[in-house]
Structure 1
């Protein structure tokens, strides 16, 4: 069984980057939350804003960030990193604070990076199966997708983990969406989506897109996250390894995704923006596309 909110509906004109970006979400850190007041004019009211759970963040800091996101007129989607939670009571305090302080009804749940769990949760599935999410009014849960795989996990392990999480959410009457790591290669993503749908998974997918950033920053984050950054892949994105100065935008990637996607083959698909060059720069880039549908020819890496 798949989650109730299994399809996001038609993505519209599949050749339009503007349509693909219409429901784009944004990822921030807790310290970025204050900057959202400065980009209200650039982001549509109600935009989903994910708040990542970084090493050293306290749950109080994340609760405060979620409240700031709500206060700025956006929809907060806090991350829960299972292995960073020290106890069942810490999860309860976290959820209680998010519910009372930010009125959240959705989360993104991930296992997290620590090799050893700090407490009783070793995976996102453990958190989902705890029963606490629905107790605190959570109706929708994001889980991770890895179009390029995971450096520590096989494809079979990733497929089983995704299936188990989606089935657990269905049993608990919660909706689901899959949010991917950021990517550079549209062809790889389209192939991954086709395989995902062939496996019977029809949850909405948010494709991770890197926001405008310096080429050196993009390569640094790709190395940290295990994202393929070969010469061939980067050339598709519009980056030459012989020219590492300047800024790269995701316009070519978004155009290729929009042209390649089809509702019948790929299901409900939208985008998720990672602002490696800063929240203001990414918000401005997104606003430009939503306002006038800027084409990649105008915004190639410079």
Structure 2
């Protein structure tokens, strides 16, 4: 069965499926780190104008490098969304210093708020909620705030495998979104199977969550690279997709591409316009150029239609 048949498409609808896939890929966001960004001569040569580019803040990265990368991307015409990992920020005063530098030196008005991967917080900030409660984002004019979503669970927050605390946090953020002037959305950890992502977004919708969801996917990469990253990042049930692929000798040496999972998400969204799924966020685990090339190819039908 082709992926376009799985969520509402018919056997004779590959063209419609391509359109749905193109619509899903068009308008995607992507992320870089300062050290990988430094290897790209000009992002305008590989990314569509206006693409939202997240800047991943790995613990220990100097804020100067983050701000310089943000300024460069803004100058090249991109929307810039730096990560703000609470546990890597030493105090509320440091958080405010960072926000001021992003605003004044790089013109940044967006941020992805995370707890961060550090086990022991550097200071008194431990979560994205604590950062929001400072009021600093509204104070300094941040117009868009994204928060993390975990379709396959987050054992750092719910070590018993439940979703109790994660659900409670998203309900809090939903309530905050209704009182702030900033636009908000949920961006998820990458996944390799559409089914748990779809089930999770439907469960959120039934719980009264209305925040749009930007689904994380891994860009083209070697299978070994993806398995290593998936295990390190706590990706759950959808890891089985990679494990099955690793057992297929005809696919073992071929680079993974996210076309099937993206196609299933696109078909679901086309058949269920009430879905929270809004767009894709690409983790370029196999390199930003490979991810950009894949996105350009699959967004082509939608972009040509818009041009027409």
TM-score, normalised with respect to structure 1: 0.86
2:149 and 2:186 in contact (8 A); partners too: yes
Matching of residue 68 in structure 1 with residue 72 in structure 2:
yes
What do the CA deviations read for 1:35-71 (whole angstroms, capped 9, x no partner)? 4544423321110000111021121211111111112
Structure 1 residue 230: deviation in Å? 6.5
The residue number in structure 2 matching 1:290 is: 299
Residue 254 of structure 2: which of 246, 250, 260 is its match? 246
Where 1:228 maps in the other structure, the secondary structure is coil
The residue number in structure 1 matching 2:12 is: none
Moved >3 Å (runs of 4+) = 35-39, 229-232, 262-265
2:230 and 2:239 in contact (8 A); partners too: no
1:231 and 1:240 in contact (8 A); partners too: no
Cα distance, 1:39–1:284 mapped onto 2, change above 3 Å: farther
The residue number in structure 1 matching 2:142 is: 138
The residue number in structure 2 matching 1:297 is: none
Cα distance, 1:276–1:180 mapped onto 2, change above 3 Å: same
1:140 and 1:174 in contact (8 A); partners too: yes
Alpha-carbon RMSD: 2.1
What do the CA deviations read for 1:73-122 (whole angstroms, capped 9, x no partner)? 21110010001111222111101110012111110000112222111211
Where 1:77 maps in the other structure, the secondary structure is strand
Where 2:225 maps in the other structure, the secondary structure is helix
Structure 1 residue 185: deviation in Å? 0.7
Where 2:246 maps in the other structure, the secondary structure is coil
Matching of residue 77 in structure 1 with residue 81 in structure 2:
yes
Aligned-partner Cα distance in 2 for 1:36–1:196:
38
Cα distance, 1:281–1:118 mapped onto 2, change above 3 Å: same
Question: Which residues of structure 1 form unaligned runs of 5+?
Answer: 1-12, 294-302
Which stretch has the larger CA shift, 201-210 or 161-170?
A: 161-170
Question: Which residues of structure 2 form unaligned runs of 5+?
Answer: 1-15, 303-308
2:57 and 2:83 in contact (8 A); partners too: yes
Matches for 1:178-257 after TM superposition, within 5 Å: 178-228=186-236, 232-234=240-242, 239-243=245-249, 244-257=252-265
Aligned-partner Cα distance in 2 for 1:71–1:164:
35
1:222 and 1:229 in contact (8 A); partners too: no
Structure 1 residue 283: deviation in Å? 0.9
Structure 1 residue 265: deviation in Å? 3.9
Aligned-partner Cα distance in 1 for 2:233–2:83:
17
What do the CA deviations read for 1:219-239 (whole angstroms, capped 9, x no partner)? 00000011136675337xx82
Aligned-partner Cα distance in 2 for 1:136–1:56:
25
1:35 and 1:279 in contact (8 A); partners too: no
TM-score, normalised with respect to structure 2: 0.85
The residue number in structure 2 matching 1:267 is: 276
Where 2:153 maps in the other structure, the secondary structure is coil
2:152 and 2:237 in contact (8 A); partners too: no
Residue 30 of structure 2: which of 22, 26, 46 is its match? 26
Where 2:80 maps in the other structure, the secondary structure is strand
